[in-house]
Every structure is written in structure tokens, then in C-alpha cells.
Structure 1
């Protein structure tokens, strides 16, 4: 029972699994792949050395090797395996545009943006920490994903900047949005006790607390599994493996914490004085995150675009899974920022990657971001309203015109291809309108029939290999995937499909696409050893999750078929948090009623919220707690135990690329 609560999906978030593939040779880049990558290299934009200048400008210091360890010696961040990126020319197995982006993303250190006033710590997590000197102390923006990386980055800052100046306290921390890679490391720079004692301001956008603590909880297990492919955590770094995510090398493997904001910025935005620095906020919720802001600092002519605008196209629908984002709103935020601050900005910084300097360059950057997202939105609807479907419209648009002359709009993370599909889904849903696709057979049943139609496995394998010989890797993957789903133990079929995925990965400009293809290939090639590399959510994060979310998540773990005959109400009473939840069970469903007490409940369960937190953190077990009296059950104990047993633990090791 402990596992039911501890693994039902709560708190999985972005914790990733690292799978070490058994050694199996990958394919070299084919002639078709080499030709495609060479063709792209010949038509890429030209910006001279400007991006390199911007990415290295103002560098003051660095952490040697980009190596960061936890207190127990465990490595939580390490850039040494990315030394292969030191060579300028892309190998045949990497898209040349992605190679360029990866090299820029591995530039790490402490950088000064505005002399004596604004700094960034880049390359020590997927995200970037920005620091502003206030009148009496420091203002910190987005303290990374992990407490360990945040602490190491903060040490680099204080050892470098405060060593030349006076030591100053942290006066405020800004969380730009509700994704954990922008707040999870806060415990590495301040403690909750410091915040209370020193009255440190924790400023976040409206709606932050609910979104931050609920993000990924209900669907966290599936998101985490898909994220392990998207972020490449199941393939090793190298020219034939993980090169970059598009945003940076990857996610740190430390402790993810949480602190409740002391104040939030309203939806209408507005100006706050933070330690004597005027900061003008604009709401950007509904773009990259449900709760988000961007802001402008007039004194330094600095625009901070959070996670909304940086040197890549973002995802309107991330490959790990999420709700579809609004590309039209994204374009309008870019235009609003351009109109409000375009002529008042000399630096555009973000919480990923490097800044853009110069007033003309800043306006061009925002203009092109506006054009990019507006193009994807309008082009999708133009084609959809002309009859193109979800699976057709992306192939009718190779790239946005703005991508031909601006690297910051290219498909390093999100892509025009899958963002157009996301836009279609936002307006029309998952179905393309063709009744043949409304209720198709499940993949395994369909696959077996396709193999039979092809004349058997040998003929289908031969057809797949023939397609690969022609460089038709998408078609080969489609055929061979059918064969693998029909015969998952067919070694030659798995090997052939892995080869097709290799070439598709080598050709991909998006780091996320490359990682997904190559992770799939690694899975197909044989056994993988999976181990948890993140220490996961800290107690501060788990204790911040609303009780309502706990019980909504528990309901998603209920085995409806086995529990269809169970009818009753299980009343939970949490004395320490003064909460009650009546879980109504009927016809294979659970409906938690918050703040309700049912005097006729089948059973009443008395348990402190703190005890549930301990169970979630793996620090206590349900049977022992019941035996000790920490959990008390009144009423029909047998009915409760029978019902609760029908909540199997979530397992993030389920298959993705095989049945």
C-alpha cells in the first residue's frame, strides 16, 4: 500500500530515468543522410560570429568542467562528456544546424550583462539564473531546477562578484513561471527560515502555486516516461547519441524543491519596486506555461522574456505531453512586448540560452518571434480551411520564411512541423475528419493484419530494407514499426527499425526529435539498464501539493473494471491540516468531495496530512502506520482495505516503441 501512494504519479514531474543501453553498434550516417545534412548546411542563415560573441560576452568565471556534485558525491551535472562538441565541423551523424546550437548551449559560466548590475549563470542546468543588484541586496530570477546546481552556481557568483565587492543579502527571488526548472533550485540559495526571518520577497505570476504544484501530477508517470526519450536521458552523449535538447545539454539530477510565493503579480501586470529597482511586468500566461510573466527593467533597458522567447522555436505541444498551447497568444505577447518596450530595450535576456544585445537587434528578435508564431498559426488554419488534415499540413510547409534568415527562430526545440499539428489539434482535436481514422484497430491488431497483407514478415522486412536503401526512412519506419508491433521478438525487424530511426535522428534539426529517434533505436537494439538519476521532489515540494490533487491523482489509479461492484464512501479526515475528503466510489469511478463530511460513510480514515507526505516521500509505509495507530480506520475496515488495494502503483517503465 505504501507504493500505491508513493508511486501513483504524484511528484514524478520531470524526474527522468537513465537507461544505459547494452553495447550495440549504431549505424553510420548513410549517403542519403549525409546529402540531406549537407544540403541544409549550404542554406543555413549567416550571422558571422555574432551568436558566439553574444554567448561569450561578459564572461567572468566558470565551474571547471561544468561538474557539480551533491553532498553525497553523486554527480548531478557534468559537461565533461560533451567535450566532443569542441570540434567546429559537425560529424555526419549530427544535423549541422543542431551541432551549431549544441556548441553554443555548452558555453557555461558566470556572465556580466550590465556591468556592476546584471549577471547570468548559464550552462549549469537546463535553465539560466539571472541576478540583478538591488539597492541593498540581490534579486534572483529563476534559480534553476535543482538545489545542488543552484547552490553551486550561486557560489560561483558570490565567490566572483562579492569577492570584489561587499557581501549582500538576497532581497527577492522571482519565479517567472510554473515549470520546475525555473523554481526547483530555490532551496539551494535561500532557506524557508531565511525567507521568513529576513522578509525575502518571493514574487511569482498569478496562479503560480496551483500550477506549479499540480504540474504533471495527474499525468506525471506517462509524461516522465516520454520525457526520458525527449530529453535523451536513455542515450549517452556523443556524436551518435545525445548532443543537445535544443535548450541545453539536459536536465540536472538533483533535488527539486519549492517555496510558496510571498506575493503574486496580477493578470493585468504592472510595476513593482523590488529592492529599489522598478520592474514592469506583463502577463504571459497561456503561452509557454499557464502561469507566467515577462518583465522589463527600465533602469538597465533590460527585457527578460522568461521561457517565452529565446534562440529557438518553442513547443506548442511538447513531445513529453502537455495541454496544447496557444500560438496566436504567443505571437500577440511578442507584439505587445515590442510595442511597449521595443524602443526602451538594449538587452533581451531569457531563462534559457544567451542574451541579445543592441536596440535594433532586440526589436528584430521580438519581431521575428512574432512572425514565427503567427506564421505557424495562420498557415495551419489556411491549410486546414482548404481541406488539409493533421497529417498533411506539415508536409505542405517545409519551414517558415523567417527561419531562412534568423537562427533564433529555427527548429531546435519545437518545430514548425509538430507545432502546426498542435495548432490543428487545438482547433479541431485529434481526429482528421476521415471516418476510417475515427475508430481504427489497436496498433497490435492492425500490425498483424498488415504483415499478413504484405505476404509475411520476410517480405515486409525486405520492403522496409528496400525503402531504407532508397533513403525513404519515414516510410521504412512506418512499415517496420508495423512488423515490430506484430512480432516484437523479431530481431531483424527490430534492428532494421532501429537503423531507420538512426538516420531520422541524424537528420533532425530539433534536439528533441533527435533524442526521441535515437532513444527509440537504443530501446529496440536490446536490453537497457534503467536507474533513477534524480533524487526527485524534495519534502518542500511534496508538502506544497494541495490535498485535492493527491486524491484526484489517487482516483486515476483506480482499477475500474475490478472495482465496478464497489459502492460506498470513504471519509478521510486530516486533523493537522483541518481538511476532510469524502471519496465517493460507484460504478468504477472515484469522486473526491473536498471539505465534505459524510456521517454515513462506509469507513472513516483518520490520517494526518504530514503522514501522507511521509508516505509519498517513501519515508513511511501504510501497513506499519496502520499497525502503529498513525492511521486509524473506523467503520468497515475490510471494505476500505479491499477498495484501497485496487490502486496499483504507477510504473514509468512501460513500453513506448514496442508493444
Structure 2
């Protein structure tokens, strides 16, 4: 079995186990307080404005009949049938009406015509795939997250139009849902031969690899909370993820770009289609670019202007994004392209048509990021702390009834905290918060001060009965961390989180609350520990410097304490050499042309073999025995050294200690 099948089998096993485990959840109904809060949303927002529904279905051509896409192991990579409950016009008590609205809009799926020669696959994945007809073939923009969903989208296009070859792929930015399905639309051999070109923004490869590897295990685990892929679908479970329904379960890949775009204004003629590139690094992704197509009078806003307030900080964890750079990018787009644009698309959600509509839309998208940036810093300069600012900021008049800036992925709350974090960091300057006790120790003392767990639970139930779910969740978290086996406390905490989920407008908040509630009631699903978040293509895409940095991250400092090792690492197939040094529980390295010092161990290994060992397809001992790897020096020292690195658990606890 090849390496890609091995990793897919692992991913499938972990996600199937997670889904099966979550399916046992027995959610409770919405309380009267939740019903009233959701009814208030119906009164406050302009639900009579249905233009987005018209735009979301405009240009529909075809879709797959059963709304299910299978993966390579016969399970569902993507299943929209599970969301048929969204067809109801009546909003359930357990769902915020604004969230129900975006969940319905994200259910439109299939092949859509945007304008002449421009099509989109929407609703087959978290993201969109854009297909542009060139003179001799197709240009694909962002081939979705998984090969299976991308292939299904391209097959649907071919079902309705002639089977033109893919001539080029454009990655708009460095997030996995915009490149992971690449193997579903092109053959890597055609890329290597020059038959297919892949365009990407400067810094793409490093950002795509580092984000998915350096903190990949933690981000993957946290992503199960943000997207809720294991939650049962339904009005008391997972209904959406803001940008789309959820993430697919399939084969994730990465092929290196052949052409790098590095400056705004750079123009390429791709199979007869003129493309003007607009660089947007530091906005929604560290490496991102937008595009203008003169012959279509069309802007592709990538992920910088969608039908939601986006994340300045994503709940799964990532580098904080720059709100100032973001609003200035949108202002540039508006100023330089607003008067010559008749259609705007993005790699999530649906297009907008008409110059005036587009200009108004871009202005509001720009203004929400500038508003969050400026007002957060105004309040910070008045002495308010991060959490206080999040409570004070609300939508201003002019943006409060605008659907496209509602918090369906980002939120005013966690975006203001992101701005605060970017400028001022985690510390609020109150010395009491400079060095707090860790959660378990602090929780035990809190519970003791509050009269013991029985007293806290009794008081918390009184607050629950008054609809004070935020407070109940906070104090019950203390009891759970003080007494991890206290199921009564876990259940009450879960009840509070569940009601908060039912009230949430932001689907990612809903998913966070509901997954937390499930795990408090039922425990953490056990995921096999084997490979972690890394995929074969992500490992292959790493430079050796990045690989060595990742090994430093995996080094267990306690096990390495007091140990020293010098190692010369030679990689003949890529003609690189590294002098590696372990000392002070730090793994240092330096790229060299020649080895200047004699090391305790010299390891000669091809990069390809190193990748296979990293992915678990083989072992170092097997490769040494076969002669593929040569070791000169102290072999026992090398084996001791290899035992100093952690293999990360993909199922670490979150809502319990």
C-alpha cells in the first residue's frame, strides 16, 4: 500500500471513530430563555431581505443526484443529504435564526454559471472551486480540500460541457481547503513535465507547510471543535461551518507551485485569459492574492470578501491576522477596480453582480474590519482590557443590518480580542494576571473558597434556571478541573454549553459549544495515535530547514536533559548537508557545504527515505538493514537520540484536565 493510501486510511479511521462516537449524543431541547433570545433575533434582523437567496441559486446548471461523494475507501467524503432538515421554513427553537439563514444559503450546491466562460462548483466542500474556460483548456482556481470532492466537481463540469484539459491551477492562498484537492484535478506528472502550471502567491509553500505541520496536531484537534465534523447533523447538532457546511473526509494533497506571483499589478496571460494579480499577504492568510479578469470585468476576492465577517483570529488556532492590512486591501480593490467590475466572486459563498451593488458590498466589508481595528484600539487606549472590549463593541448603525458582515465565521467578540492580542498581547497589565496558577490548581482553590463542589453545583443550578448560561459554564469549568470525575458537574456544564450553542449566531461558536457539551457528557473520542496531522504532500513540501525546525519542536526537553550529540546529516538525493548538535535540551542545526568537524555519528540518508520514515511507511532500522541508510560512528547513540522525540497524541483533552 503506498504512502498516500496509508495516511488516508489513518485519517478515515480516526474520523469514522469520531463520528460514530459523537453519534451517541443525546442533546436536550432549547430552554425558554434560549427560545426568547432566538425570537428576538427574528425581530431585530431584516429577514424580509431575500436577495442573497436569489444570488446563491443564480446560474444553477446541475448537481449530483444523490448529493453524496464517496472517498477512496467507500465511505462518505461529502454528504449533503444529511442537511435536508434545513429545507424547513420554520426555524427550530434550538438554532439562532441568523445561523439558520446562512446554513440554508450554504446548502445550495452544484455547478453554477457566473458569467461567460466562468463557472463555480459550490456546496461540494467547505470552499468553492472556480473553473474558467481558456482558449485550449481550463483554469482551475482553488481545487477544494480533498481530491474526491475536487474530482466530483470537475466531473460535473465535464458532464455538462466538453472535456477540455486542465491547463493551469491557481492557489489563491495557503489554507488547505484551497489546495488540498489538487490530485483530483491534475496529475502531478503533468505539472512536472510543464504541461500544467500552478500559480501561487509568494510565501505560499512555506506557509502551507508550516501551518499544517508545526502546530498541526493541536490545530487538527481544535478543528474538531470549530467545524464539528463528528457531531450528528440536525437542528440540535451540527448545521454549518460558516464558510460552508463542514470539512470533507478525503485525500488531502499538495503539489508545489511552478510559478510564484510576488507583486501587485503582475499580469499573466494564462491560456488566453488575462489575469491581473493583487497581493494580499497578512489578510485572511499569510500568503494570499486576489485577481482581476479584464475580459470578464470580474474580481476574484479569494477569501478577503465573502458573505460573512471573517476571522481575525480563527478558533482552531493560527497567527492573528492584520485588520489594518485587510481593510486597506479592500479599499485598494474598491478604488482601483470598483468602477470596472460587474461581477465579484470569492472562493467561498456566492457571487454578486452589478457595479453599484459590488461597490456597496466592498465598502461595507472594508468598513467592518476598520471599525473593529480602530474601536478596539480606542478602547484599549482608554484602559479597557481585552475581555471588557469584547463586551462593549457592537455593530454600528449602517452595518448592523448588513447580512454580509454578520458573524458567521469570525465574530465581533473574538475579532476584537485578535486586534488586542496583535498590538498588546495576552497580558492585560494587571499583576494579578501576570503569573496565575494553572487551571487545575486554581480550580481546586476556587471550589474550596466557594464552599465545595456540592455548594457550587447547587448555586450554579439556580443560575441555570435563570438562563445565566455563560456564568454556569464558567463556574462548572472550575469544578470539572478541580474534580475531573464529578459527572454531575460535567453534565451541568454540558447543559449550559448546549444552550449557548443553540443561541449562537456564529456556526463555529455553536460547534465549539456542542462538541464541548458532548465530550463532557461522554468523554473524549479515542483517535489512534500513529501519524498525526501530517500528510505525505505536506511533509514532502517542507524544506529541510523546516523539517529540522519541526524535529526541534518534537524534541522532549525533559528526556533530552543532560544529553549531548553531534551528528552530520548528509542527503545525497537533494545534495544537502547539515551539522546537527543536541545540547541544553535544544536541537541546533546548520546547513553546510562540507562537514568541518568530526561528529559522533554521520548519517547518510536520501530525503525520500527520510520522508517515508517520518510518515511511518518504514523504519530507520529497516532502512539501515537494507543498506539504504548508512551510519558511521556510534549507532547506539543514534538510537538513543531517536528516542528523544515525541509523537503527538491527536486526542488530547480540552474540556477536562
- CA distance in 1 between counterparts of 2:345 and 2:502 reads 31
> Are residue 525 (structure 1) and residue 521 (structure 2) matched?
yes
Map 1:365-444 to 2 at 5 A: 365-444=361-440
Is contact 1:217-1:549 (8 Å) kept?
A: no
The equivalent of 2:283 in structure 1 is 287
Contact 2:263 2:277 in 1 (8 A): no
Map of 1:80 onto structure 2: 81
- Say yes or no: does 1:552 pair with 2:549: yes
State the match for 2:617 in structure 1: 619
The residue number in structure 2 matching 1:200 is: 196
Superposed CA deviations along residues 64-116 of structure 1, whole A, max 9, x for unmatched, are 2321112432221111111111112221111110110001001101000113x
Q: How does 1:593-608 map to 2 (within 5 A)?
A: 593-595=590-592, 597-608=595-606
- Output aligned runs, 1:39-438, within 5 Å: 39-46=40-47, 48-115=49-116, 117-162=117-162, 167-197=163-193, 199-438=195-434
Of 649, 652, 655, the residue aligned with 1:651 is 649
Q: TM-score, normalised by structure 2?
A: 0.95
Equivalent residues of 1:376, 1:400 under 8 A apart? no
Between 249-258 and 19-28, report the one with greater CA deviation.
Answer: 19-28
Q: CA RMSD in A?
A: 2.1
Query: Which moved further from structure 2: 57-66 or 627-636?
Result: 627-636
Query: For the structure 1 residues 595 and 402, does the alpha-carbon distance in structure 2 shift closer, same or farther, using more than 3 Å as the test?
Result: farther
Distance 1:532 1:48 in 2: 47
CA contact (8 A) 1:451 1:457 kept: yes
Alpha-carbon displacement from aligned partner over 1:185-226 (angstroms, at most 9, x marks no partner): 111111122234463221111121222222221111111111
Which shows bigger deviation, 315-324 or 519-528?
Answer: 519-528
Counterpart in the other structure of 2:33: 32
Equivalent residues of 1:255, 1:537 under 8 A apart: no
C-alpha separation between the residues in 2 aligned to 1:216 and 1:433? 33
Distance 1:616 1:586 in 2: 23
TM-score computed with the length of structure 1 as normaliser: 0.94
Task: Please give the secondary structure, in 2, of the residue aligned with 1:233.
Answer: coil
Corresponding residue for 1:462? 458
Higher relative contact order (CA 8 A, sep 6+): 1
Distance 1:541 1:456, change over 3 A: closer
Residue of structure 2 aligned with 1:589, choices 586, 591, 594: 586
Note the C-alpha offset of 1:24.
4.3
1:3 counterpart residue number: none
Q: Give the alignment of 1:439-454 within 5 angstroms.
A: 439-454=435-450
Distance 2:102 2:443 in 1: 38
Task: Determine helix, strand or coil for the equivalent of 1:512.
Answer: helix
Paired position in structure 2 for 1:609: 607
* Secondary structure of 1:404 counterpart: coil
SS of equivalent residue, structure 1 residue 211:
helix
Unaligned runs of 5+ in 1: 1-5
Q: Residue 521 of structure 1: SS of its match in structure 2?
A: helix
2:636 aligned to 635, 638, 648, which one?
638
Q: 2:566 aligns with which of 569, 590, 608?
A: 569
Instruction: Tell me how far 1:636 sits from its aligned partner.
Output: 1.8
Specify the SS of the correspondent of 1:570: strand
Counterpart of 2:432 in 1: which secondary structure?
helix
Secondary structure class of the residue paired with 2:379: helix
What is the CA–CA distance in structure 2 between the aligned matches of 1:60 and 1:180, rounded to whole Å?
27
Q: Which moved more, 1:175-184 or 1:196-205?
A: 196-205
The question of whether the paired residues in 1 share the 8 Å contact of 2:527 and 2:650 is answered with no
**2:213 touches 2:533 (CA, 8 Å); kept in 1?**
no
Question: Does structure 2 conserve the Cα–Cα contact (< 8 Å) formed by 1:45 and 1:404?
Answer: no
Cα distance in 1 for partners of 2:221, 2:398 equals: 34
3-state SS of paired residue (1:446): helix
CA distance in 2, matches of 1:404, 1:36: 17
Tell me by how many angstroms 1:46 deviates: 4.2
Distance 1:580 1:51 in 2: 57
Counterpart Cα distance in 2 of 1:203 and 1:459: 62
Structure 2 regions of 5+ residues with no counterpart? 1-5
Bigger drift between 324-333 and 43-52 goes to 43-52
SS, match of residue 352 in structure 1: coil
| Count of residue correspondences | 644
Moved more, 229-238 or 195-204: 195-204
**CA apart distance, 1:625:** 2.2
Q: Aligned in 2, Cα 1:380/1:277: closer, same or farther, shift over 3 Å?
A: same
Cα distance, 1:63 vs structure 2: 1.1
Question: Are the equivalent residues in 1 in contact too, given 2:480–2:489 (CA < 8 A)?
Answer: yes
Using the alignment, how far apart are the partners of 2:63 and 2:280 within structure 1?
32
2:3 maps to which residue?
A: none
- CA distance in structure 2 between the partners assigned to 1:129 and 1:532 by the alignment: 32
